[in-house]
Chains A and B, each alone.
Chain A
Amino acid sequence: MAQTDSLITTDVSVTDRERTSRPDETVVRADGLEVHYGEERALTDVDIDIPERKVTAIIGPSGCGKSTFLRCVNRMNDQIDTCRIDGDLSFHGKNVYDDDVDPVALRRKIGMVFQKPNPFPKSIRDNVAYGLRVQGKTDDVDARVRQALEGAALWEEVEGQLDSSGLDLSGGQQQRLCIARAIAPDPEVLLMDEPTSALDPVAAAKIEDLIADLAREYTVIIVTHNMQQAARISDKTAVFLTGGELVEFDDTATIFEDPDDQRVEDYITGRFG
């Protein structure tokens, strides 16, 4: 780990230097995060500071723990019986795995979009309003639905058909509907787990454009297989390699043009993974 970027060390003085050298406020911080599924280790001693209102891409080969990391942030890993988590993962400085943290409350602050579009078998309106209703934000639902659909660049396409089923939309539209659903209750962080990998290139490009807009309001953490996508849309890039190790985390330009770690360079240039 010696050659990795200073951002991921845990030394307090280094963190302080980071704060002064960058205006970014850290929203999500992992500190010695380790995840096991049963006996199998999925993440090894991950330290990372994810800045506010930026797009942070997480790349790496299959099985490197990218999605596992993402699912730690909103505690979706709680659904997996065999999952064990050690170390700290904090959201605004509060360890989300503390006993007094309610994962439901956490997920109301941290929205998520999945790899496969998963709209509910409900109308478009009810899909977007779902988060509002379960969170008790029942005032002004129609306006919030419209705002969320506009935020997800879907409003113009579905304006006249809010009462038709979300399942009748195309794959790319469904994914944007899921984005609208995630942002409707106005979370702070948006987790995206390979949101374009099930889509055709045109639909994927629309989502990519959208992500840049979303980062003005939300902290976006996106897992992607696609290195070109990471290079195009992210401000920061974290590279995980096999074994669940975070090898390097830096500005995206640095990662793609001048990485510190030889393994990252090999991975980026296609010699590894």
Chain B
Amino acid sequence: MSTDVDSEGEFETSSGGFDTDSLTGVGLEWTHRTESLFHAVLFGASVLGVVVLAVLIVDVILDALTGLAIGLDPVTFLTQHYSNDSSQAGFLGAIVGSVLLLFFTFLFSFFLGVGTAVYLEEYAPNTRVTRLIEANLTNLAGVPSVVYGLLALGVFVNGLRMGPILLAGSIALALLVVPIVIVASQEALRSVPDGMRNGSLATGATRWQTVRGVVLPSAMPGIVTGTILALARAIGETAPLLMVGTVWGLRHTPGPFDRFGAMTTQIYQWAFLPETELNFLAAMGIAVLLAILLGMYGVAFLVRNKYERSY
């Protein structure tokens, strides 16, 4: 030890020959400046997305407000069906169509997706076949949505002669989101610590009791969040529904076995028609779509909180 100790045995502060000038004025300014610059660039990159989103939303809201200003009535818009007269045209059929599509998409994709994820994570042996299935599921999650529309058109609409009905549309959307639900559920199941499984098995539970009693409840917040995000993607899809065959100008409230339209396809139609008033209708439609999306995220948030509190 090189610490100086004086005669009373007290410690004494000593520079010990250390040159304190080496801590000051060493010309690191340029290094620090490039670092600040780099920070600024990274910050700018991350803010860019938010700015673009904000511009989009403001643009849509301005268009929708302009629509209101030229005398389009929001109550008419929400309670009436499609009409060629823009002042009488409404969005009701499209809203009901989208909600029904979403409901059946959820029904078809949730149980299939969660079931597959449970099998792959909790039961499947770690073989080459399992790995092949998992790799293909990841690939499926990246397939363009229009392809699923073509698949549904070929197999369900024409092949099984379902016709272009709402159920066929929701099958197309379910095919689209099942891989996403599977991958999200797998992530959620993987995040459940093995200690939980071991604790359950060692208490004399069967594997299924372990999955149902401990693993699934623990993973459920993640599964629900993943599913709602997947459904949020489904409600914003246009291409697969166009492929299945939607109605131009929906003048009725569709049921599961009826020809159908959705908010996205209606917006698409309005946006491409030449009359300016119809473009404002499209903007109002987008505002409704965004509001419903926000509602879904809200539900996801509430459900997740409820599950977390019940622990």
Contact = CB atoms under 8 A, between A and B. Distances in A.
Given A104-B204, A134-B206, A79 B198 contact: yes
Contacts of A107: 201-204
A191 B202 CA distance: 10
Nearest to B218: A121
B125 to A, nearest CB: 7
Interface in A63-111: 74, 76, 79, 81, 104-105, 107-108, 111
A182 B202 CA distance: 8
Contacts of B204: 104-105, 107-108, 131, 134-135, 185
Contacts of A181: 199, 203
Question: What is the interface of chain B mostly: helix, strand, loop, or mixed?
Answer: helix
A256 interface: no
Contact of B205 (A114, A134, A178): A134
Given A81-B126, A134-B213, A104 B206 contact: yes
A116 B218 CA distance: 18
A121 B195 contact: no
Interface in B175-216: 193, 195-206, 209, 213-214
Nearest to B195: A118
Contacts of A165: 311
Contacts of A81: 125-126
A185 B195 CA distance: 19
A241 to B, nearest CB: 26
A192 to B, nearest CB: 11
Contacts of B236: none
Interface string A105-131: 101100110101011111000000011
A167 interface: yes
B255 interface: no
Contact of A131 (B125, B126, B196, B203): B203
Interface in B99-151: 125-126
B126 to A, nearest CB: 7
Contact of A76 (B198, B214, B217, B311): B198
A119 B193 CA distance: 11
B308 to A, nearest CB: 9
Given A76-B201, A134-B204, A121 B125 contact: no
A112 B202 contact: yes
Question: Interface residue tally of chain A, by bracket?
Answer: 20 to 34
Nearest to A181: B203
A104 B214 contact: no
A209 B209 CA distance: 33
A120 B200 contact: yes
Interface string B32-57: 00000000000000000000000000
Contact of B213 (A112, A130, A191): A130
Contacts of A191: 202
Nearest to B210: A134
Nearest to B215: A120
A118 B196 contact: yes
Nearest to B209: A134
Contacts of B203: 107, 111-112, 130-131, 134, 181-182, 185
Contacts of B200: 120, 130, 134
B215 to A, nearest CB: 10
B198 A114 contact: yes
A121 B214 CA distance: 8
Interface string B137-169: 000000000000000000000000000000000
A200 to B, nearest CB: 19
B201 A122 contact: no
Given A120-B214, A122-B311, A111 B205 contact: no
Nearest to A167: B311
B195 A116 contact: yes
Contacts of A133: 213
A118 B202 CA distance: 11
B125 A79 contact: no
A142 B51 CA distance: 57
Contacts of B199: 114, 118-120, 178, 181
Nearest to A126: B213
The 5 closest A-B pairs by CB, nearest first: A108-B204, A118-B195, A112-B202, A121-B311, A134-B205
14 contacts: A74-B202, A76-B198, A76-B202, A79-B198, A104-B206, A118-B195, A118-B198, A120-B196, A120-B214, A121-B217, A121-B218, A121-B311, A135-B204, A185-B203
Given A104-B204, A105-B204, 4 more contacts: A121-B218, A122-B311, A134-B206, A134-B213
